[in-house]
Amino acid sequence: MDKKLSAALIIIGNEILSGRTQDSNMQFLGRELGKIGIFLEEVRVIADNEDKIIETVHQLRNNYDYIFTTGGIGPTHDDITSLSIAKAFGVELELHEPSAKKMKEHYGGNLNEARLKMAHIPSGSSPIETRITSAPGFKIENVFVLAGVPMIARAMFDALSPELSVGPPIISRYIEALLGEGELANQLEKIQNKFSDVDIGSYPFFRKGEIGLSVVAKGINSEAINNIINEVEKIIKSKNCKYCIDDEVI
Amino acid sequence: MDKKLSAALIIIGNEILSGRTQDSNMQFLGRELGKIGIFLEEVRVIADNEDKIIETVHQLRNNYDYIFTTGGIGPTHDDITSLSIAKAFGVELELHEPSAKKMKEHYGGNLNEARLKMAHIPSGSSPIETRITSAPGFKIENVFVLAGVPMIARAMFDALSPELSVGPPIISRYIEALLGEGELANQLEKIQNKFSDVDIGSYPFFRKGEIGLSVVAKGINSEAINNIINEVEKIIKSKNCKYCIDDEVI
């Protein structure tokens, strides 16, 4: 089997840490990467702080195949991601002419220095351009720098994803039952030990006053996943409780 | 001025990384900590992996006043947080008798080994008990270990929060206007340079086809925050666009 492809995400933004903004890029990227066989293995949320951005990029970039960042590439003083990433790689920011041209067309006489800041990307990086904004993201070595606004982050991910290596897609099936987790824990552990290349998760839920659990089997070995779901189904059936089985809807 | 109180959060769970589950504990803790003057400065999301949990706790616990973890304290094989934290501190897990007693009352004859696992906490730790579950969280040194289920995480936070040192509350006011960020960026930077103890953030929004921005002033110096909002209001007024000012609703 080939080496598993891995990714880490760095979410940059004081507004996420303070709770002002609910992040949704993590869930989006976790799912989209999974579909193309790349495991999102770590996420860090950090402040708009140059030293912290540089330190975090250095800590992560050699440990994962791909690093994504979101946030901090806008026009204002608190948007310091591009400059920080440039410094992390020891290069300068330079004007990306095609983006500047697009901005001139879009803003006309309202194109000012602050807006033009968004057309600057690190020397040696490749722009990530989309139709929905004239300001690009960029790729430098294995680091992809995306906007924080979810709509733009998604468009940038769509634009860059053809460049990513693709692994076997991560498949996920689940079985849900109106059972407490503790009822199944023992048997589930035995099944996990038998199928070590599939990740079996057990998650409780509370719905309409009833307690239930979702058992999720996730990995790239679809035969093992089906066997796991079948074994769990047998156990649940023997307990005579309501249950359902489905593929994970991504 | 006293030293700023700081916290980090470690979210433990494969289901968050895969995108199956949208985390909401980060936003909750960011807000609640802010109300009592503790800055959430870093969040890490990691897998249910013993080595990774131990490494992350060691990396963070000396850098922040408080560490919180969520997730992985249930009854199943993938719930390895308590054991991993015990190992990080070089201690064993031991039965917390009052929790075991509560479980016996709750589960009766259905109390099995898997469920009793949830009544084990590291030797030398203090339990975090709530009314909504017989399974406790715990505190060991400056690390608070909470459940991942948001309802239980919240109850545990309410139970532990009286133990936290309290700083001056973090205040946040904002002004929203139907203006592009780039229109204001230059002046905003000058204001930020004048008020260095307040964190000024600028966030774009798209609502009903209109582009706008929120300027957020956040910190513990309420006079400076009011001055910032007044200065930004003057600039926005001069541009004759619709705007509103409010305290951040937390």
Q: What is the pLDDT of residues B193-214, one digit of tens each?
A: 999 999 999 999 988 888 899 9
CB contact (8 A) between residue A188 and residue B76: yes
Calpha distance A115→A134 (Å, rounded): 10
List chain A residues with CB under 8 Å of B113.
Answer: 186
Q: What pLDDT is stored for residue A35 in this prediction?
A: 94
Calpha distance A245→A249 (Å, rounded): 12
Q: Decide: helix, strand or coil at residue B130.
A: coil
Token pair of B59 as six digits: 């990396």
Residue B203 touches partner A, C-beta closer than 8 Å: yes
Q: Which residue of chain B is at minimal alpha-carbon distance from A202?
A: B76
Calpha distance B177→B215 (Å, rounded): 9
Q: What value does the mean pLDDT take over residues B57-63?
A: 97
Q: What value does the mean pLDDT take over residues B141-157?
A: 98
Residue environment code for B31-45, b if the CB has 16+ CB neighbours within 10 A, otherwise e: bbbbeebbbbbbbbb
In angstroms, the separation between the Cα of residue B190 and the nearest Cα of chain A is 9
Calpha distance A196→B215 (Å, rounded): 50
In angstroms, the separation between the Cα of residue A17 and the nearest Cα of chain B is 6
Q: What pLDDT is stored for residue A80 in this prediction?
A: 98
Residue A247 pLDDT class (50, 70, 90 cuts): confident
CB contact (8 A) between residue A14 and residue B113: no
List chain A residues with CB under 8 Å of B182.
Answer: 75, 107, 110, 112, 114-115
Residue B249 pLDDT class (50, 70, 90 cuts): low
What value does the CA radius of gyration of chain A take, rounded to a whole number of Å?
22
Residues A19-55: tens digit of each pLDDT: 999 999 999 999 999 999 999 999 999 999 999 999 9
**Does the pLDDT value for residue A13 go beyond 90?**
yes
**Does the pLDDT value for residue B1 go beyond 50?**
no
Calpha distance A185→B58 (Å, rounded): 29
List chain B residues with CB under 8 Å of A72.
Answer: none
Lowest-pLDDT choice from A148-162, B4-18, B77-91, B228-242: B228-242
CB contact (8 A) between residue B182 and residue A107: yes
CB contact (8 A) between residue B30 and residue A24: no
Angle at B57 between CA B54 and CA B59, to 5 degrees: 105
Residues in chain B: 250
Q: What pLDDT is stored for residue A60 in this prediction?
A: 98
Average pLDDT, chain A: 95
Residues 6 or more apart whose CB falls under 8 angstroms from that of A65 comprise: A5, A6, A7, A38, A142, A165
- Give the count of Cβ contacts less than 8 A between chain A and B: 193
CB contact (8 A) between residue B78 and residue A202: yes
Best mutation target, B6, B43, B184, B249, to test chain A (most A CBs within 10 A) = B43
Residue A243 pLDDT class (50, 70, 90 cuts): confident
Q: Report the top-level CATH class of B171-247.
A: alpha beta
List chain A residues with CB under 8 Å of B48.
Answer: 201
Q: Which residue of chain A is at minimal alpha-carbon distance from B218?
A: A18
Q: What pLDDT is stored for residue B146 in this prediction?
A: 98
Residue A1 pLDDT class (50, 70, 90 cuts): very low
List chain A residues with CB under 8 Å of B15.
Answer: 201, 203, 216
Q: What value does the mean pLDDT take over residues B215-225?
A: 95
List chain A residues with CB under 8 Å of B30.
Answer: 16-19
Residues B173-193: tens digit of each pLDDT: 999 999 999 999 999 999 999
Residues 6 or more apart whose CB falls under 8 angstroms from that of B195 comprise: B217, B221, B224, B227, B228
**Does the pLDDT value for residue A178 go beyond 60?**
yes
Topology of domain B5-163, CATH: Molybdenum Cofactor Biosythetic Enzyme; Chain A (3.40.980)
Q: What pLDDT is stored for residue A208 in this prediction?
A: 85
Q: What is the enclosing helix (H) or strand (E) of B14?
A: helix B14-17
CB contact (8 A) between residue A40 and residue B17: yes
In this prediction the pTM is 0.95
Q: Looking at per-residue confidence, does B243 or B112 come out higher?
A: B112
B17 phi and psi, to 5 degrees? -65, -35
Distance of CA A195 to the CA centre of its chain: 26
Dihedral sign, CA of A170, A125, A12, B66? Answer: positive
Q: Which residue of chain A is at minimal alpha-carbon distance from B135?
A: A182
Residue A249 pLDDT class (50, 70, 90 cuts): low
Q: Which residue of chain A is at minimal alpha-carbon distance from B173?
A: A20
**Does the pLDDT value for residue A250 go beyond 80?**
no
> Do B5-163 and B171-247 agree at the fold level?
no
DSSP-assigned letters across all residues of A166-211: --SPPEEEEEEESS-GGGTHHHHHHHHHH-TTSEEEEEEEEETTEE
Strands (E) in chain A, as ranges, are: 5-12, 38-46, 66-70, 93-95, 120-122, 126-128, 137-140, 143-146, 171-177, 199-207, 210-219, 243-247
Best mutation target, A43, A55, A154, to test chain B (most B CBs within 10 A) = A43
Residues A80-131: tens digit of each pLDDT: 999 999 999 999 999 999 999 999 999 999 899 999 999 999 999 999 999 9
Tally Cβ neighbours within 10 Å of residue B245: 15
Residues A54-79: tens digit of each pLDDT: 999 999 999 999 999 999 999 999 99
Q: What value does the mean pLDDT take over residues A5-25?
A: 97
Calpha distance B128→B95 (Å, rounded): 14
Interface of B with A in 106-165 (CB under 8 A): 107, 110, 112-115, 117, 149, 151
What percent of chain B shows pLDDT beyond 90?
90
Interface of A with B in 61-100 (CB under 8 A): 74-78
Residue environment code for B78-107, b if the CB has 16+ CB neighbours within 10 A, otherwise e: bbbbbbbbbbbbeeebeebeebbebbeeee
User: Are the CB atoms for B82 and B123 separated by under 8 Å?
Assistant: no
Q: Decide: helix, strand or coil at residue A212.
A: strand
For chain A, give every domain's residue range: 5-163, 171-247
